[in-house]
């Protein structure tokens, strides 16, 4: 396609990236995989978080784009169609990739749910509503048609394999595992099993000043006049070799995820330990004797009680660290409830259970 020049740089096909090395361009492409990435600055020692996208369009099926980790990039999932603006094309490891700069912008023109609906209602319905220029709309149409064609080809090939092995499939159907790329296009509510690792856990919403000094993963919940301590809903990002998807986790499932440690026990142990540390600091002493009163008796009794009781907060932290130890863990067996009628943040993908595979 002819490059369309604007303040954001020319809109180019991915196949034309080699002609724009060192320059800033616009890319309109479909996300194939989302991989979180962490790198360290050798000079300052600071750690930077980036998101690596593998994208494709009708001219090139695979191209890497590196984005800074922020609110927008954290909501991107495989299947989304993006307009990436002010992306610098650079040479990297004997190849090319796009890199975001401070002035870069990302727009999600169509999400994976829109693409599923477009197969029923038609692509025109969604493209007309996109507030973009004619050249961008034309590119969007071509990318959308390429996605639909690719999905149909993949489905036909997959169906041929199933038809050849239908007897074996019927026997093992309950143990079937799907990839994340197969999870995203589901158009009907269902529960699916995937084999994947946990890349990160993110709390829903932002923390206000009133939560400062409190354990932010839990909250008070009032039901029928009773105050219960529960886990806040959070997003657990799971990934396999085909991509990454955010999965909503709610209180009861979170409790099972954290080895059946309920939020009330975590909160009580956290507060108890936090109070001891505060008392120690206020006394001006860093030794254990800082927890004792004038006679030494009360503090000793407290310390004995603390020793006898399990520190559920510490156990919870260890469990959390083990879950996120992606490089050393085998993939987990994760069952996910898929509700295509919801947005990702509202629970389009919700955790049902997580188990460790038995060798």
**Which of 131, 147, 163 corresponds to the end of one domain?**
147
Co-location of 189 and 318 in the same domain = yes
Round to whole Å and give the CA distance between 183 and 187: 10
Question: Residue 269 domain-assigned?
Answer: no
**Which of 127, 147, 167 corresponds to the end of one domain?**
147
Co-location of 239 and 332 in the same domain = yes
- Residue span of the structural domain in which 88 resides: 11-147
298 contact partners, CB below 8 Å, separation of at least 6: 292
Conformational region of residue 213, where left means phi above 0, alpha means psi within -120 to 50, and beta covers everything else:
left
Quick one: DSSP state of residue 95? E
pTM exceeds 0.85, yes or no = no
φ/ψ of residue 317, rounded to 5: -65, -40
Question: Residue 287 domain-assigned?
Answer: no
Round to whole Å and give the CA distance between 301 and 118: 67
* pLDDT at residue 337 is higher than 90: yes
Co-location of 246 and 135 in the same domain = no
Round to whole Å and give the CA distance between 80 and 112: 5
Co-location of 52 and 127 in the same domain = yes
Round to whole Å and give the CA distance between 143 and 28: 8
Question: Residue 302 domain-assigned?
Answer: no
Check if the beta carbon of residue 232 is closer than 8 Å to that of residue 188.
Answer: no
Relative orientation angle of helices 312-323 and 263-283, to the nearest 10 degrees:
110
Round to whole Å and give the CA distance between 107 and 186: 23
**How many residues are given for the chain?**
359
Q: How many domains would you assign to the chain? A: 2
Q: Which residues pair with 296 in a beta bridge?
A: none
* pLDDT at residue 21 is higher than 90: yes
Check if the beta carbon of residue 247 is closer than 8 Å to that of residue 350.
Answer: yes
Position with higher pLDDT, 207 vs 314: 314
**pLDDT tens by residue, 171-219:** 333 346 788 878 888 888 999 999 888 988 888 764 333 334 445 677 7
pLDDT of residue 101: 87
Q: Which residues pair with 333 in a beta bridge?
A: 195, 355
Co-location of 183 and 328 in the same domain = yes
Co-location of 25 and 99 in the same domain = yes
Tokens of 192: 């699916």
Q: Which residues pair with 337 in a beta bridge?
A: 191, 350
Co-location of 138 and 181 in the same domain = no
Question: Residue 273 domain-assigned?
Answer: no
Co-location of 125 and 195 in the same domain = no
pLDDT of residue 44: 73
Co-location of 90 and 233 in the same domain = no
* pLDDT at residue 19 is higher than 60: yes
Co-location of 202 and 93 in the same domain = no
**pLDDT band (50, 70, 90) for residue 24:** very high
Question: Residue 24 domain-assigned?
Answer: yes
Q: Which of 208, 321, 318 is nearest to 269 (CA)?
A: 318
**Which of 147, 168, 191 corresponds to the end of one domain?**
147
Question: Residue 91 domain-assigned?
Answer: yes
Residue 254 belongs to domain with CATH number: 2.40.50.140
Tokens of 80: 């989304």
Co-location of 246 and 329 in the same domain = yes
Co-location of 242 and 331 in the same domain = yes
Question: Residue 288 domain-assigned?
Answer: no
Check if the beta carbon of residue 25 is closer than 8 Å to that of residue 10.
Answer: yes
| Average pLDDT value for residue range 47-62 | 87
Question: Residue 165 domain-assigned?
Answer: no
3-state secondary structure 213-225: CCCCCEEEEEECC
Look over the chain and give the mean of its residue pLDDT values, rounded to a whole number. Answer: 75
């Amino acid at each position: 396609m002819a490059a369309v020049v604007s303040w954001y740089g020319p809109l180019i096909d991915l196949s034309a990236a080699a002609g724009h090395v060192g320059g800033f361009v616009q890319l309109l492409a479909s996300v194939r995989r989302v991989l979180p990435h962490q790198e360290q600055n050798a000079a300052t020692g600071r750690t930077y978080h980036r998101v690596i996208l593998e994208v494709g369009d009708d001219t090139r099926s695979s191209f890497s784009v590196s984005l800074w980790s922020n609110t927008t990039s954290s909501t991107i999932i495989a299947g989304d169609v993006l307009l990436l603006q002010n992306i610098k094309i650079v040479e990297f490891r004997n190849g090319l990739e796009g890199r975001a700069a401070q002035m870069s912008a990302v727009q999600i023109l169509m999400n994976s749910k829109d693409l599923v609906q477009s197969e029923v209602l038609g692509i025109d319905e969604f493209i007309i509503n996109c507030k973009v220029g004619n050249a961008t709309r034309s590119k969007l149409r071509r990318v959308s048609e390429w996605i639909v064609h690719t999905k149909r080809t993949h489905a036909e090939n997959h169906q041929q394999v199933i038809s050849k092995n239908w007897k074996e499939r019927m026997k093992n159907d309950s143990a079937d595992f799907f990839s994340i790329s197969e999870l995203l296009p589901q158009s009907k509510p269902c529960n699916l099993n995937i084999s994947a690792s946990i890349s990160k856990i993110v709390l829903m919403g932002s923390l206000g000043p009133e939560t400062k000094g409190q354990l932010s993963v839990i909250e008070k919940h009032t039901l029928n006049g009773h105050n219960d301590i529960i886990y806040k809903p959070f997003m657990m990002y799971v990934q396999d070799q085909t991509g990454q998807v955010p999965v909503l986790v709610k209180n009861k499932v979170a409790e099972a995820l954290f080895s059946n440690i309920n939020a009330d026990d975590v909160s009580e142990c956290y507060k108890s330990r936090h109070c001891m540390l505060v008392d120690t600091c206020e006394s001006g002493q860093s030794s254990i004797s800082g927890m004792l009163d004038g006679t030494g008796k009360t503090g000793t009794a407290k310390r004995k009680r603390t020793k006898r009781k399990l520190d559920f907060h510490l156990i919870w932290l260890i469990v959390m660290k083990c879950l996120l130890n992606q490089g050393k863990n085998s993939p987990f067996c994760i069952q996910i409830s898929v509700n295509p009628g919801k947005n990702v943040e509202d629970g389009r993908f919700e955790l049902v259970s997580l188990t460790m595979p038995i060798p």
